[in-house]
Amino acid sequence: MQRRFLDCVETAAFPGTSEEEKKRLLHMVVVGGGPTGIELTGGLHDFLEEDLKNWYPELHPYMRLTLVEALPSVLPMFSKELIQYTERTFKESRIEIMTGTMVKGMTPSSVLLKPKGTLEEEVDCGLVVWAAGNTLRKLTRDLMGKVGEQVNKRGLVIDDHLRMLGAPSIFAIGDCTSTSYTPTAQVASQQDAYLARMLELIAKWDALENKLQQLTNATVQGGNVTDGATTEAESIERKIERIKLKPFHYSHQGSLAYIRSDKAIADLPIFGREWANGGVATFLFWRSAYLSTIFSLRNWALVAGDRMRIKFFGRDVSRE
């Protein structure tokens, strides 16, 4: 993406490039108004305003960013207050947001958009970045086609124990499923941990069932039921009864997103209430939260050092 992005900038800087071609080359379109699309758009804005503006000042008036989202608003998992804050911040930065707009096709030099209630329009651009999620894999489509209960075209329908409807021996988590939860890494991570515990309990259940069956078979073949065998069988049955396969429950730990120019937004559950805020202070919290997830001291120092280098010397504008 960086190579293609800088190709557009350098091509626009060539002598003799027409005004229309400069406008096309320096129009960047990001598809997807979730956290990924918002953070990518904010990062591109910072790169344009804080770095390329200094290297190519004559091209700055032509630089344009557009964010396309099919839903009625961006960041649907955030509060209305933060959605409005993000939209205002983008407007101040001359970032165009097109909500309720579907992408119908692309060409090497344009993207075909269909805003709700209007006709399709072809928008010239130099770069399109897809941040609107993944399409279904062939395996997922094959499973949906072979199981009658799978009627949702968006993904595999699962029950509260993450089992595929119509095929309870198959578990499914993450992007291949269609659930009421927001398709984020936070949800997939909790599903992953739950499924690991679930499979461990199932394995324990199966081992106890097999042991009980072996004990029963040995008793039947021997024809002599001893007190010890009876006691052991009762103990195994109690252990089986204590194994509870609880349904999956998602615990929301909050949502964070960087928007631009050292500003971020946060929706966090604190003492049973949702805390929503945005701005520079939230950006510092966002930055520290991501740094805290780096367990290696070496990697932590490298990331922190890279951030400091960018702050003082700017971003790398080379192709690689």
Q: What is the pLDDT of residues 163-218, one digit of tens each?
A: 999 999 999 999 999 998 888 889 999 999 999 999 999 999 999 999 888 888 87
pLDDT at res. 279: 94
pLDDT at res. 104: 95
Residue 313 has pLDDT above 90, yes or no: no
Question: Is there a contact between 265 and 277 (Cβ–Cβ < 8 Å)?
Answer: yes
Strands 263-270 and 273-279: antiparallel
pLDDT at res. 244: 86
Average pLDDT of the residues in 76-96: 94
Sign of torsion over alpha carbons 38, 99, 83, 263: positive
Average pLDDT of the residues in 248-261: 92
Q: In this predicted model, which residue has the larger pLDDT, 121 or 234?
A: 121
Q: In this predicted model, which residue has the larger pLDDT, 21 or 232?
A: 21
Q: What percent of the chain has pLDDT over 90?
A: 69
Question: Is there a contact between 264 and 285 (Cβ–Cβ < 8 Å)?
Answer: yes
pTM (two decimals): 0.83
pLDDT at res. 230: 76
Other residues' Cβ atoms within 10 Å of the Cβ of residue 5: 20
Residues 6+ apart with CB under 8 A from 242: none
**pLDDT band, residue 271 (cuts 50/70/90):** confident
pLDDT at res. 123: 96
Instruction: Output the CA torsion 115→117→118→122 (10° steps).
Output: 20
Render pLDDT for 284-307 as a digit per residue (tens, 0 to 9): 999 998 888 888 999 999 998 998
Question: Is there a contact between 125 and 105 (Cβ–Cβ < 8 Å)?
Answer: no
CATH placement of domain 2-133+253-313: 3.50.50.100
Q: What percent of the chain has pLDDT over 70?
A: 96
pLDDT at res. 135: 83
Average pLDDT of the residues in 27-52: 94
Residue 110 has pLDDT above 80, yes or no: yes
Mean pLDDT, the chain, as a whole number? 91
Average pLDDT of the residues in 116-121: 92
Other residues' Cβ atoms within 10 Å of the Cβ of residue 11: 14
Render pLDDT for 210-246 as a digit per residue (tens, 0 to 9): 988 888 887 766 556 566 667 888 888 888 888 888 9
pLDDT at res. 224: 61
Average pLDDT of the residues in 129-133: 90
**pLDDT band, residue 155 (cuts 50/70/90):** very high
Other residues' Cβ atoms within 10 Å of the Cβ of residue 251: 7
pLDDT at res. 295: 85
